[in-house]
Amino acid sequence: MPDQDLKLIVLARDQGPRVQDAWSELSEFLEQQQGVVVVAAAVTEDLQEDLPEADLVVVLGGDGAILRACRQLAATQRPILGVNLGRLGFLADLSVEQFRNNLPSIRDRQYRIIEHLMFECHHEMASGETEIITGLNEVALSAGASLTMLDVRLEIDGEEVTTFSGDGVIISSPVGSTAHSLSAGGPILRQDLQAFVVTPLNPHTLSNRPLVDRADRRYTLRMDDAPEGVTLVVDGQIRRPFVAGDAIHVVRSELAFQLARIPGHSYYSALRNKLGWSGQVRGQVR
């Protein structure tokens, strides 16, 4: 066992009974554990800027809670371990019981830290201002309340690629490929790939298909005409109005999302469990 205590920061900001009951149970459990110290807990407020040093940030909730925590950590990214109290939970894949049962291994630092691609969304406004939003899952340009078909021009590294006519466009990281992009017909990427997926939303032209390209390129979305109600959405949590003359630039962030995985975790087993894949591999010997 390591000589130093395992230092944890716990985030349980969702005020719903499921998260708060889980935090009440786990806080009492953690107080009884030798070699484990909760150095900070954010239950009712956002993270403080001067966070103490910690080995892991334990997030109670679902993937949305992890996305929020990742964004709030900003330049002080720490390894995150998710305890799933939501639904699918591709990032937060441990139940409360599994967290309790695996705590001895976690305390002994028997986990892997996997770095994942993050992005910067540069919203260049017609007014001349630019807002930079850091995210993990996806950038979506959506028809929203406009209820009209959009013509969205895509450029990659300044080269015109195509114009998508439909309900909008999603630019997704590998982590976000199992979120909104997947429901729109996009491909599933391994979470550690260095690539982005461009997925049209309900395209009017059947030849428009999702596009996968390298993460070190600059992706730009423009519209010559943007009806009122068109919305820029980042990670499903940040919304901004988008008007004609605006541009969206998506580039790889210098930051990396750090996800802690316990031994025995398999990405494909997670996909089988979360997506209900029940087919048998041909040729498998019983």
Which domains, and CATH codes, for the chain?
Answer: 6-111+262-275 (3.40.50.10330), 117-254 (2.60.200.30)
For 105-149, what is each residue's pLDDT tens digit? 999 999 999 999 999 999 999 999 999 999 999 999 999 877 789
Contacts of 23 (CB under 8 A, 6+ apart): 10, 12, 41, 43, 60
CA distance 33 to 12: 19
The stretch 156-167 carries a mean pLDDT of: 96
Tracing tokens 């239950």 back to the chain, one arrives at 43
For 200-228, what is each residue's pLDDT tens digit? 999 888 788 999 999 999 999 999 999 99
User: Among 5, 21, 55, 63, which one carries the catalytic annotation?
Assistant: 63
Would you give the distance in Å from CA 186 to the centre of its chain? 16
CB-based contact 26:60 (threshold 8 Å): yes
For 164-197, what is each residue's pLDDT tens digit? 999 999 999 999 999 999 999 999 999 889 999 9
pLDDT number for residue 5 = 92
Which one has a higher pLDDT value, 3 or 161? 161
pLDDT number for residue 47 = 67
The mean pLDDT of the chain is 89
The stretch 27-48 carries a mean pLDDT of: 84
Specify the pTM. 0.88
pLDDT number for residue 100 = 93
CA distance 188 to 175: 9
For residue 63, indicate whether it is catalytic: yes
Which span out of 40-49, 91-100, 174-183 was modeled with the highest average pLDDT?
Answer: 174-183
